[in-house]
């Protein structure tokens, strides 16, 4: 499946279908074969600098479909996020539209419960980008509100406010460990990232937060994130 054959998030496909992405790379081939023992499917995301936020948002909301208890818990958390944004110094008129878009999507998942409709929304560029922008602002707010903790993981030459303004809030800026940690904690989303690093012979993964049971699995390779599905969760 080429990147041009889908918009922002692809249909689910067999994990082994991405072996053809780098046929000459033996390390990549071996690692994907190894991953296929634990993950049997994936969705590709567009490499537009927003792939992490879009992948996390889509895959977690998809995991909530049919789970009314978790949806209610998540709705309660989302309803608290404007307070977090205000506490971080964001003016309400600058985030209200993005918050409303995200909350309406959570409500759609609760009432509709359709994977096809969720995928359709995420592939609507305008709506999907509003979701990403909300997640970026929330990530920024979480970091700012816990600046004493996060400043230890940011370049010493950049303060927390500048880091958020330059590396978190703008669309199309790639994310790193700091942003992943912040957003997963901000929304209480446990996720596992599988790293396919060409420089390392072994497969590596990291769970955010540690000791949590992941609700979301992502595949990372060369600054890009795709969505993974654990073998025992594929129906």
Q: Catalytic annotation on 20?
A: no
What is the predicted pLDDT for the residue at 173? 98
Reported confidence tier of residue 234, pLDDT bands at 50, 70, 90: very low
Burial of 160 (0-12, 13-18, 19+ CB in 10 A): buried
Phi, psi for 144 (deg, rounded to 5): -65, -40
Q: Catalytic annotation on 51?
A: yes
CATH architecture assigned to 9-230: Up-down Bundle (1.20)
Q: What is the mean pLDDT of residues 131-135?
A: 98
For residues 204 and 195, give the distance between their C-alpha atoms in angstroms, rounded to a whole number: 5
pLDDT per residue as tens digits for the range 90-99: 999 999 999 9
One DSSP character per residue, 153-219 reads GS-TTS-HHHHIIIIISSTT----HHHHHHHHHHTT--EEEEE--TT-SS-EEEEESTT---SEEEE
Question: If you average pLDDT over every residue of the chain, what do you get?
Answer: 93
Phi, psi for 38 (deg, rounded to 5): -115, -20
What is the predicted pLDDT for the residue at 6? 64
Q: Which residue has the higher pLDDT, 2 or 141?
A: 141
Indicate if the pLDDT at residue 203 is higher than 50.
yes
Q: Catalytic annotation on 175?
A: no
What's the distance, CA 135 to chain centroid?
9
The catalytic residue among 48, 197, 205, 206 is 48
What is the predicted pLDDT for the residue at 121? 97
What is the predicted pLDDT for the residue at 3? 44
Q: What is the mean pLDDT of residues 227-232?
A: 93
pLDDT per residue as tens digits for the range 15-70: 999 998 888 888 889 999 999 999 999 999 999 999 999 999 999 999 999 999 99
Sorted by where each begins, the domain ranges of the chain are: 9-230
The catalytic residue among 129, 164, 175, 224 is 224
């Amino acid at each position: 499946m080429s990147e041009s054959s889908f918009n922002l998030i692809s249909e689910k496909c067999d994990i082994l279908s991405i072996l053809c992405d780098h046929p000459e790379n033996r390390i990549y081939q071996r690692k994907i074969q190894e991953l296929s023992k634990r993950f049997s499917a994936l969705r590709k995301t567009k490499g537009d600098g927003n792939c992490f936020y879009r992948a996390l948002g889509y895959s977690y909301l998809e995991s909530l479909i049919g789970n009314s208890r978790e949806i209610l818990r998540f709705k309660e958390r989302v309803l608290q996020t404007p307070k977090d944004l205000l506490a971080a110094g964001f003016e309400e008129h600058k985030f209200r539209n993005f918050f409303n878009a995200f909350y309406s999507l959570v409500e759609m998942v609760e009432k509709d419960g359709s994977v096809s409709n969720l995928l359709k929304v995420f592939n609507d560029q305008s709506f999907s980008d509003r979701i990403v922008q909300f997640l970026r602002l929330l990530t920024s707010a979480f970091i700012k509100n816990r600046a004493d903790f996060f400043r230890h993981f940011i370049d010493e030459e950049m303060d927390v406010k500048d880091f958020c303004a330059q590396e978190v809030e703008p669309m199309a800026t790639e994310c790193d460990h700091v942003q992943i940690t912040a957003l997963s904690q901000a929304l209480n989303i446990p996720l596992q990232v599988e790293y396919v690093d060409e420089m390392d012979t072994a497969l590596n993964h990291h769970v955010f937060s540690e000791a949590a049971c992941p609700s979301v699995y992502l595949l990372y390779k060369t600054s890009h994130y795709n969505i993974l599905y654990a073998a025992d969760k594929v129906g």
